[in-house]
Amino acid sequence: MTLPANPLQWTIGLVGYGEVGRILAEDLRARGVANVLAYDIKLGGPNGAPLRDHAARHGVRLAESHAELAAQSDLIVSAVTASQAVPVAEACAPALRSGAWFLDFNSASPGAKIRAGEIVAAAGGRYVEGAVMTSIPPYRIRVPLLLGGSQAVALAPLLNVLGFDAKVASPQLGVASATKMCRSVMIKGLEAMVIECFTAARAYGVEDAVLASLAETFPGIDWERQGAYFFQRVIQHGRRRAEEMREVAQTVHEAGLEPWSAAGTAERQTWVADLAEKGVFGDRNLPRKDWREDADRLLAATEKQS
C-alpha cells in the first residue's frame, strides 16, 4: 500500500476515544486532517452518548470495531488504558493495511511494547512506540513525545507535520517506554505520597505546619497549588493511572528490582479511583476547589469503611 505523501491527507484512526483520543481528534481536525476515524469499546454502551456527540461536533467518523478502523487507516494511534496495549494490537492486526503505521501511545512496560510491536510487524504494519512525557491537557497534541523502534526515524517528521512534538529516543523498542515508566515511579509516586501525606496531616490537624515545613525544604514548589492539582488528577484519572503504575511495577520488576514504591502507588491510586466511582467526591470532572475538602471526604469514607 502506498500512503499519501502528505500526512494531512492520511486517514487517521484513533483507538480509544477518552480524554486523550478526543484531544487528538480535535487538534488533528483543526490541523486540517479531513479523515479522522475513532473506535472505543464504550461507544455502544450507556456512556457512549457523550463520545458520539463529540465525534459529531468535530467531524470524526466512528468505527464499529477495531477491524473496521484498522482496515481504513493509514496511521493508527492506540490511546487506551495500559493493560489494553497488547490486546489492541492483537485486535487491529488481522485487518491492518500493508505498510500502515501503528503508533502505540499507551503507558505500557517495555515488554508489552515489544510484544505489541511483534504482533503489528507480523501483520505487515509499521510499529512505533510513543512515550508521552508529561500530562497531555496543557500541551494537547504538542505534548512531548518520545518515539522508539526501527521505524521511529521515518515516522517522526511525518507526525510533526500533523502537529505532534515527536523526537526519536532510540531505534530499539522499549527504550522510550522505559524512560516514561521510570519517570512515572517519581511523578505518580509523588501524587500518591501527597494524597497520603496531606490527608493524614488533615486528620491530625497539622496540615498548615506540614505545608510550611515542605515549603521551607522545597521552596521552589507551591505545595498548596501542587497538592490541589495532584488530588484533581487522581480523582479524575486514578483508574487509568493505577493501570499505568502496574505497568511501571512490571518495568521495575523486569529490571530486577522489587517494585515496592510503584506497587504501593498503584494501590493508592486504585483506592482513590474506587471512592471516586462511588461518588465520594461528587462530580469528579468538575474543577476541585480545595484539596482539604477532598481530604475530608477521604477521611469520612475511611471512617465509614472501618
Q: What is the pLDDT of residue 305?
A: 65
| Sequence spans of domains, the chain | 7-173, 177-301
Residue 5 has, within 13 A of its CA and on its CB side, a CA count of: 0
CA dist 185 and 187 (Å) reads 6
Give the model confidence (pLDDT) of 275-300 as tens digits.
Answer: 999 999 999 888 888 999 999 999 99
Q: What is the pLDDT of residue 39?
A: 98
Is residue 123 over pLDDT 60? Answer: yes
Nearest to 128 by CA among 163, 101, 98: 101
Give the model confidence (pLDDT) of 158-214 as tens digits.
Answer: 999 999 999 999 999 999 999 999 999 999 999 999 999 999 999 999 999 999 999
CA dist 103 and 214 (Å) reads 40
C-alpha distances out from residue 64 to 36, 40, 144, 182, Å: 14, 8, 31, 36
CA dist 51 and 49 (Å) reads 5
Position of cell 505497568?
A: 247
What percent of the chain has pLDDT above 90? 92
Give the model confidence (pLDDT) of 44-102 as tens digits.
Answer: 888 899 999 999 999 999 999 999 999 999 999 999 988 999 999 999 999 999 999 99
CA dist 196 and 65 (Å) reads 41
pLDDT category at 232 given cuts 50, 70, 90 is very high
- The per-residue DSSP string of 123-191 comes to TT-EEEEEEE-S-HHHHGGGSEEEEESTTHHHHHHHHHHTT-EEEEEESSTTHHHHHHHHHHHHHHHHH
CA dist 234 and 23 (Å) reads 19
Q: Judge whether 38 and 25 are in contact, CB under 8 Å.
A: yes
Nearest to 240 by CA among 104, 110, 83: 83
Q: Which CATH architecture has domain 7-173?
A: 3-Layer(aba) Sandwich (3.40)
CB count within 10 Å of CB 232 equals 18
Q: Judge whether 156 and 148 are in contact, CB under 8 Å.
A: no
R_g over Cα of the chain: 20
Q: Which CATH number fits domain 177-301: 1.20.120.400, 1.10.1040.10, 3.40.50.970, 1.10.10.10?
A: 1.10.1040.10
pLDDT, mean of residues 139-163: 98
Give the model confidence (pLDDT) of 7-47 as tens digits.
Answer: 999 999 999 999 999 999 999 999 999 999 999 999 988 88
Q: What is the pLDDT of residue 68?
A: 98
Is residue 242 over pLDDT 80? Answer: yes
SS3 content of the chain, % helix, strand, coil (to 5): 60, 10, 25
Give 235's contacts (C-beta < 8 A, 6+ positions apart).
Answer: 272, 276, 281, 284, 288, 294
